[in-house]
Amino acid sequence: MALAYLGVLLLVPLGLIFWRTFQHGAAPVWHSLTTPTALHAFRVSGIVAFWSVLLNTVFGIGAALLLVRHRFPGKRLFSALIDLPIAVSPVVVGLALILVYGKFSSFGGWLQGHGFQVIFALPGMVLATTFVSLPLVVRELAPVLTEIGIEQEQAAWTLGAGRFQAFRRITLPAIRWALGYGIVLTLARSLGEFGAVAVVSGRLVGQTQTATLVVDESFQNFDQATAYAVSVALAVIAIVILVVVNLMRPEVKA
């Protein structure tokens, strides 16, 4: 019964996308994917996703450690706040970023005066993407960190290891699968983000257009071939990474 549910919800749409994309063979798909606009867009998506993953990994490790190992007032609120980005509509994210970093706000205007263009440039897009994928690494790491406890690290400290050394040699290997999975989810989410980025990107052709924006634009311009081709490319990239990571965890998914 569960399988039927899955089938209807997941497999049928998946099948439909692939069908519609490859209806006329693989050549037109390749052609759509290698236009300068598409290539630029993949590059922009890649850069934005890279920064988002990097920032969220660092934050994720820090926040997970904080949540699991420390007590502090407001901890539960902190935890809920980390999940909040998933509850925020992408439109609101864009609005919020413009309110704060837009040219006509005090902070944003000051930044722009000093040569920092945040909105309508890559930094704003990175901020938006990082925001929407904030909880992913944290949520993967927290349960595992809870599991492994802190004893081993403490032992290392008493034996004279530095904090970072202990972290690198003891904790990191223990959490590497959860971390890897969290990173992959963040990557997938970052590549697929549309709503928030659409508002803050400025849609400069060849400069601040991400792959998802190209999908939207092509679809709106009745260029369904490009829209589906790029969508499938994005999905395949993420699926491949997901499958690879899943396969590399034999002890967990046996």
Q: Within 182-201, which residues bind other proteins (CB under 8 A)? A: 185, 188-189, 191-195, 199
Footprint of other proteins on residues 31-70 (CB under 8 A)?
55, 59, 62-63, 66
* Minimum gap (Å) between residue 159 Cβ and other proteins: 26
Q: Is 167 in the site for other proteins (CB under 8 A)?
A: no
9 Cβ contact list (under 8 Å, min separation 6): none
User: How far is 245 from 61, CA to CA, in rounded Å?
Assistant: 19
Cα(238)–Cα(249) distance, integer angstroms: 17
Report the candidate in 91, 112, 94, 95 with the shortest Cα–Cα distance to residue 103. Answer: 112
Verify binding: residue 172, other proteins, rule CB under 8 A: no
- Decide whether 166 or 232 has the Cβ nearer to other proteins: 232
Give the nearer residue to other proteins in terms of CB position, either 32 or 102.
102
What is the Cα–Cα distance from 5 to 160, expressed in whole angstroms? 55
State yes or no: residue 2 binds other proteins (CB under 8 A).
yes
**Residues 225, 29: contact at Cβ < 8 Å?**
yes
Residue 115 to residue 98: CA distance in whole angstroms: 17
Given candidates 120, 137, 145, 153, which one binds other proteins under the rule CB under 8 A? Answer: 120
Q: How far is the CB of 167 from other proteins (least distance, A)?
A: 14
Nearer to other proteins, 57 or 152 (CB): 57
> Site for other proteins (CB under 8 A): which residue of 95, 148, 150, 174?
95
Work out whether 26 is an interface residue with other proteins (CB under 8 A): no
DSSP per position, 115-149: T---TTSHHHHHHHHHHHTTHHHHHHHHHHHHHH-
The correct pick among 32, 44, 49, 130 for binding other proteins (CB under 8 A) is 130
